[in-house]
Structures are given as structure tokens and as C-alpha cells.
Structure 1
Amino acid sequence: MSKQFGWWFFTCGEQILVIAQGERLPYGDIDDLPLPALEFSRVEQFASYKGEPCLRLELEHPQDLGMGEWVDLRSSMSLLNSQLFNLVGKAQQFALFLKTHQFCGCCGHAMTRVDWELAMLCSACGFRAYPRVSPCIIVLISHGSQLLLANHRRHQKQAQPMYTAIAGFVEAGETLEQTVHRETHEETGLKLKNLRYWKSQPWAFPHSLMAAYFAEYADGELKIDRRELADAQWFEANDLPHLPPLGTVARDMIEHWLAQTSL
């Protein structure tokens, strides 16, 4: 079998090429795809999907490849299944890592790619760098038949403002559970009880790993940190606002809570 056979991830910065049929990503031998001349010496296998290689090729410009269209990572969420979406995120995080680690952060010397793992090595001082992963938490807070949902400032200018769960990054020296309590209190003034971990999701914006929790209201009055949130309210289960898109862990949490609440 050709070394250039598999699932093709043509990327350009935050964009990915998707096609109209099948799994929405090109698949097959490179010689059978209707492509113009490209520099295929830069093709890299970075994962596998359904037992076949995932092949990444980063382009300098989102050029016309004779098939499909270029979409950004967020838009691809609605076009790809969750596994492929995560693989697209992985491909883009690899590209970002290679772009931002060309020089050593310790001595400034040029770094070279390690050929047995995804890492960059400084031949001058020996420092080795790996792709950055930024842990963060997201927590869905309930109080009886109500959910606490927030409109984050980055979403406030949307035509239909989106409301979602409370989220934030883990600080140095914190456990995930400490982060949940701190972020909730900082952004809403509330205290929590019955905190329970649910699941995680890689989130390539640009290199996060989301740890999802459910929790219940314990005490406090809602006091919004306007630096982080445009709004936060308690919503009844049968009267929810515009929610995050399907495929996000936030939406999965809300749908799971609704299913459990309706029992």
C-alpha cells in the first residue's frame, strides 16, 4: 500500500479542506485524488482513523485543490463527526506547535524536529519542547429545575447571544476541583456542592483540554464579573436560551442534564 494512502487533512492555519460527500474529508491514494502539484514531501502521518492513516499537509495559502471548500475549525464542527473533528483539532495543534517552536525558549538557538516523537529539540542546550496542552474546566450548575447559564463576553455580539456553562483555565498549583470552585466564585459569586466529574474533551482553541463537571448551587447571590461575563441567569429547564452547538461538551452536558431531569 502506498505510504500516501489514507485520510487527508489539508490544513492552512485555522482552516481545513472539507468535501461534499462521505465523511467529508478526502480519502484514498494521493495519486487518485484530483489535486494540483503540491509538495508532498511534507506529508506527515499524525494519527489513524478506522484503521487507516491520517495524513496532514499544511499549505501556505488556502488554494483551490479542485475539490471541496475551506472552512474554519469551528465551522467544521457541524460538518464532521466528533472523532474527525477532534482529529482536525489535533492536526491544527501540531501545525501551531511546529510554527511557534522554531527557536529555543531557553537560549534562542534554532530548534530541529525530533524524528521519533512530536517534539522540537535544541542542539545547543538540549532543551526539548512538546505541544502545549492547556487544562481547563467547564461546570454546569443546577438548582432544582434551573440551570445557571452565562453569556460570555466573546459571545455577546452574536446576533443570537449564546448561553453556556461556566468555564476557566487551571492555574499553577491547582487541582481541577479547586479550579471549578474558584472560577465559579470569581465569575458568579456562588458556592457549589455535590461536585462530580463527567468527562473530558480536547478543544483546539487553540490547545485546551476541557474537564467537564456537574455541580449544584450551595450558597451565595449571583454577582457577575463583568470582565468575563456579559450576563448570567438561572433558566428553567423548559425555557432555555440559545445554547452551544451540538458536538461541544457544554451542549452534551446540558442535554444529559435535561434527560436526567425529565426522568
Structure 2
Amino acid sequence: MLAAAPNGGRHTAQDHPALPLTPASLARTAAECLDAGANLLHVHVRDAQGRHTLDAATYREAFAAIRSEVGERLVLQATTEALGRYSAAEQLAAVRGLRPEAVSLAVAELFGRDVPDADVAAFLRELQLDQVLVQYIVYSAAEEQRLVALAQRGLIPGPFWTLYVLGRYGQARPSTPADLLPFAPFSAGRAAAPWAACAFGQGELRCLVAAAAFGGHVQIGFENNLLTPEGEPATSNAEQVRRLRNALTPLNIMPMSADELRRAWLTPPDRTAPR
């Protein structure tokens, strides 16, 4: 998986003039990122005031515009990120209203909040029955361990993919490849679900090349980083995708097609295979 995350919920046009915030600009960005090598678009949408929103109608408008440009050649992933605006109940209702092809869910934002764990588990089983491609976001090894424990208790069904977030907004230093080390693929004796990584700051590219070299999938774009590896303002999301694809080519790592990614996501991982 080579995912493009072109906008996020925090940045504005003042942060970068090429940040796509409207359905039309998201559609153009999707086509450009597809041409550059992406197979998934991680989409945030904004309301009329430019604020992060989980409104299903707003998502449908954006997804329709994107599909008109790229058809089914990209997997479209919605987010449930709260950004301090949404309760767990509102996040679940937003996904039920949208029923996206793919969705990212933050473990810390769903469990142990205002919805009983059993109700969250029922919601996740609904997504499994609908074959929604579910990716769980974790920010630390402790959150990943909690995800595994929830799965072992039967509260999280499989198959699912995990996204490791390296760094934070406002972090004083760029993310580095060493930030991968606490997570399961790098800890002896700990199995990992299929995983991807994203990273903050100008160290993004180095982190993602390292992740791919160790068998992970990757997500890049203006959501987490607006800079080139040299610290200059990046030109576009597509240029960031192209840089990453070009960096992976000498390692003989090539992005799947969107259809290959869909099939891989819905295939349970082989837990007997050597790691």
C-alpha cells in the first residue's frame, strides 16, 4: 500500500497554498497522486467554515468528485478522527451514515469513552460484514498492545491493518526511523497484523523507506508533513508520493494496484508464515 494523505484536519491554505480542501481540489489531487503511484487516498473533509468534519453528506460529495476523476483506481478511506470535536458515539454514527469503502479508526478514541465496549464491538462486526477495509491507528507501543488485547477479547474482528504514527503535531524534532522500533514488527516474539507507517516532519521520507524495507506499508502527504527531506516547502502531494515511489524502486518495492490492495486487505494474514 502506498497511501496519500493529502490534507488532514488541521492544516489550512495559509500553511500551504496547494492543500486540497474542496471536493474539486481533492479530486484533482487524487488524480495526480494516482499518476504518481498511490493506490489509496486517506480523506479528510471540511465544513463551510473550513473546519474538520465527519458529516456524511460532505464526505459523499467529496467521494463522488474523486470517483468522477479516478473511478475505482484508488481505494478511498474516510477518517473518524475526533480532533476534540466528536464523541465516540458521533464517530460511529458518522461511519454508519457514510458506509465508506475503507475507514481509519483510532483505538484510543473508540474504546473506554462514551460508548460501551460491547457496542463498539458490535459496530466493528457490522463493518466486517460489510467488508469495509478497517485500519486501526496507534500512536505508541502501549496503544498497539491494547489493540492486540482487545482483539484477543473478541472485541475487534479481523482482518484489519494497523497504522503506526511516528511523531506528533508540534513535535520539536522530525520523526526518525528509530521511532519504528517500539512497535510489534521490531519486538522479538510479537506478531503484528499487516501494518503501515506515517511520519511527521521532514524525516517522513526516510521513515517510510525504512518501514517499507522492513515489510510495512506506507502513507505520505500533507496531512503530516509539508516539507521535502531537505527542509524546503514541498511542491504538492503528488510530488511527495513520487519521491517515495522513486525511493522504493531501487529496493524492488512497487505499489499494488487498488484492486490488488482490496484483495490483500480482505485476505486473513497467514499466522503460520515465518516472520
TM range (shorter): under 0.3
Rg comparison, structure with higher value: 1
More helix by share: 2
Query: Which structure: greater strand fraction?
Result: 1
TM-score by length of 1: 0.22
Q: Which has the higher contact order (CA 8 A, sep 6+)?
A: 2
Q: TM-score, normalised by structure 2?
A: 0.22
